[in-house]
A and B are shown apart, each in its own frame.
Chain A
Amino acid sequence: MNFKEIIRITFNLVVIYAVGGALLAWLYAQTSPVIYNNMEEDKANALKGMMPVHLIANVTGNADAVKAVLPEGAKVEEKDGVLDVEVDLYKKGKEKLIKKMKSAGAAVTESSDYKTVEKGEWEPVHKKKAKYFEVQDKDGQVAAYIVESYHKGYSGAPGIFVAIDKDLTVRKVEILTHSETPGLGDEIENPAFKNQFKGKALGQLEVVKGEAGDKILAITGATISSRSITYGTRDAVQLITDLTSGAAAPMTGMSHEAAPAAEEGKDGH
C-alpha cells in the first residue's frame, strides 16, 4: 500500500463520514425540539394521572349499563341522571373506560379535585435534578405529594413519578422513561409490578425474590430493573419524609448501596 493509496482511503472515509454525520446532525436539529416537547407533554399527562380523576357522565341511556362497564374499585355517586365516577386510571386505561362509557350511553367529561403545585427541585442519586410537587385538594389543603425520581437501572436511570400520601405511604408509581432490556427489564411497566407499591411505607421498599411478604417482589430475570424502580421510590419517600418532618430540604437523595455490587453483577438484568 503506497502513500497515494493511503490518502485515497482516508479521503474516502472522511468524506462519507462527514456527509453521514452532517445528515444526522441536521435531522437531530429538526427532531430534537419535537422530541423534547413530546416528553414534556407525556410528563404533564403522567402528572395528571397520579391522582384519581372524576369522570362526570351525563347518562342518556340506561344508567345500569354505564355502571356495568366501570372497573372494580371505582367510586360512584349518582345525582339526577349524572354519574360522578372516581377512578384511578391513567392514559390508555382511562381512554378505554371513557370509550366504553360512551358506547354504553353517556356523555363523559373529565374533572379533577386536585391541583398540583411545583414545590422545588432535588437531586436524586443518578440525575442532576428532578422536581417534586404538592397536591392540593379543593380546599387548598395538602392531599399528597408527587416526586420525580431516578435510580440507576440496567441501562440508564429510569425516570418515575411517585405519588405519596400524607401518611408517607406510596399511592402510586408511574414509569416515565426507561431503556431497560425488552422482554426482561421492560416488565417494570407491567401493572402487576407497579401495583405492588401501593400502600408501601419506607421500610417496606426493598426488593426480595421468591415470596413478596410485605416487600416488593423482583421480576424474574430483571432484578436490577426491579431494584431501580424500588430504590427510586424509596428515595422519593425519604425526601418527603425529610421535608415533612421539618428537616432542612435535602439536596441529595440518600445513598443506599445496600445491595453489594457483586450481587448486582451476578443477577444479570
Chain B
Amino acid sequence: MDTRSNIQILRDGIFADNTIFKLAISLCPAIAVTSSLKNGFMMGLAVMFVQTMVNLTISLMRNFIHPRIRIPIFMLVISSWVTVTDLLMHAYVRDVYAEMGLYIKLIVAFASILAHAETFASKNKAVPSVFDGIGMGAGFLFALSAISFFRELLGKGTVWGYEVLAFKPMLIMILPAGGFLAVGVLMAFFNWIEIRFFGGKPAGH
C-alpha cells in the first residue's frame, strides 16, 4: 500500500517520477512521435487516458490475478483498452480520429503503462490508482509537449504547424537523432531546475 496522499501521488507522477525526464522509460515512442507539437500533444492525451483506465482496471481486478501470470494479464488489459479507445474513436469522433488514429495503436507498446500497472495499480486501491494514472499521464503529456515544441521549433521553424521562424535552424532536430538530443538536453534542464530551485538531489546521491 502506498502511504502518500492522492494529491501527492498526482504531483509525483508529473514531477518526481516523470516518465521521460526521471524514469527515462517509453523513450522510443516518445521520440518517434515528437517531431511536431501537435503530434506530441495528441499522443500525450491518448496515453493519459489509457494509462488511467488501465490503472483503474488492474487495481479493481488485483485480487483475482494470479501473481505468476500477472504480466500477460496486464498486457491483455492494456491492449483491450487501446482497442476500445481505437474502435470508439473511429466510430464516434471521426474528426479527432482523423488526427489521432495513427497514434492510438502505438500505445500498446508503452513501457510506462505496464510499469505502473505492475508497481502501483496491482498493489493499491482504485482511487489512488486513478490519481497515479492521471499523474503519470499528465507528466508524460508535459514531457512530450516540451520535447516536441523544441523539436518542431528548431527543426521546422513552426509551432503547432504555424510558421514562427522564417527559416529552419536545425533540421536534424526533427530526425530521430534530434529526438535523442532534445530528450537529453531537456532532461538535464529540468533536473537542473529541480536541483537549483527545489532542493532536489542529483541522481546517485
B94 in the interface, Cβ–Cβ < 8 Å?
Answer: yes
Contacting B at CB under 8 A, from A132-149, are none
Assembled-state Cα–Cα distance A220/B150 (Å): 19
Q: Per-position contact with B for A32-68: 1 when CB-CB < 8 Å, else 0?
A: 1011001000100000000000000000000000000
Cβ of B122 < 8 Å from any Cβ of A? Answer: no
> Residue of A at shortest CB range from B98?
A42
Q: Which residues of B contact A17 (CB under 8 A)?
A: 76
B196 at the interface (CB under 8 A from A): no
With A16-B76, A20-B77, A182-B102 as given contacts, are A38 and B64 in contact (CB-CB < 8 Å)?
A: no
- Given A9-B69, A183-B34, the answer on whether A34 and B91 have CB atoms closer than 8 Å is yes
Q: Contact at A16–B102, with CB atoms within 8 Å?
A: no
Partner of B94 from the list A13, A38, A179 (CB cut-off 8 Å) is: A38
A27 touches B64 (CB 8 A): no
Known: A12-B64, A13-B72, A17-B76. A183 touches B36 (CB 8 A): yes
Interface residues of chain B: helix, strand, loop or mixed (majority): helix
Known: A27-B84, A182-B33. A12 touches B65 (CB 8 A): yes
Assess whether B188 is interfacial by the CB under 8 Å rule: no
Chain A residues closer than 8 Å to B69, beta-carbon distance = 9, 12-13
B32 at the interface (CB under 8 A from A): yes
Residue of B with least CB distance to A34: B91
Number of interface residues of A (CB under 8 A): 27
Give the distance in Å from the alpha carbon of A31 to the alpha carbon of B3 in the complex: 41
| Of the residues B32, B43, B73, contact of A13 by C-beta under 8 Å | B73
Task: State how many angstroms separate the Cβ of B97 from the closest Cβ of chain A.
Answer: 9
Please tell me which one of the listed residues A20, A27, A221 contacts residue B87 in the complex, with CB atoms under 8 A apart.
A27
- Shortest A65–chain B CB gap in Å is 25
- Asked, given contacts A13-B73, A16-B73, whether A186 binds B66 with beta carbons under 8 Å apart, the answer is no
For A12, the closest partner residue in chain B by CB is B66
Report B75-115 CB contacts with A as 1/0, cut-off 8 Å: 01100100110011011101000000011011000000000
Residue of A nearest to B88 (CB): A31
Contact status B65-A35, CB under 8 Å: no
> Judging by beta carbons under 8 Å apart, are A16 and B87 in contact?
no
List B contacts of A35 (CB < 8 A).
87, 90-91
Which residues of chain A come closer than 8 Å to B84, judged between CB atoms? 24, 27
In angstroms, how far is the closest chain A Cβ from the Cβ of B91? Answer: 4
Q: Is B91 in contact with A182, judged by CB distance below 8 angstroms? A: no
What are 30 pairs between A and B in contact, CB < 8 Å? A9-B66, A9-B68, A12-B66, A13-B66, A13-B72, A16-B64, A17-B76, A20-B77, A23-B80, A24-B80, A24-B83, A24-B84, A27-B84, A31-B88, A32-B87, A34-B91, A35-B91, A38-B94, A179-B102, A179-B105, A180-B102, A182-B43, A182-B106, A183-B32, A183-B34, A183-B35, A183-B39, A183-B174, A221-B175, A221-B176
Chain A residues packing against B (C-beta within 8 Å): 8-9, 12-13, 16-17, 20, 23-24, 27-28, 30-32, 34-35, 38, 42, 179-184, 186, 220-221
| Residues in B lying within 8 Å of A, measured CB to CB | 32-36, 39, 43, 61, 64-66, 68-69, 72-73, 76-77, 80, 83-84, 87-88, 90-92, 94, 102-103, 105-106, 174-176
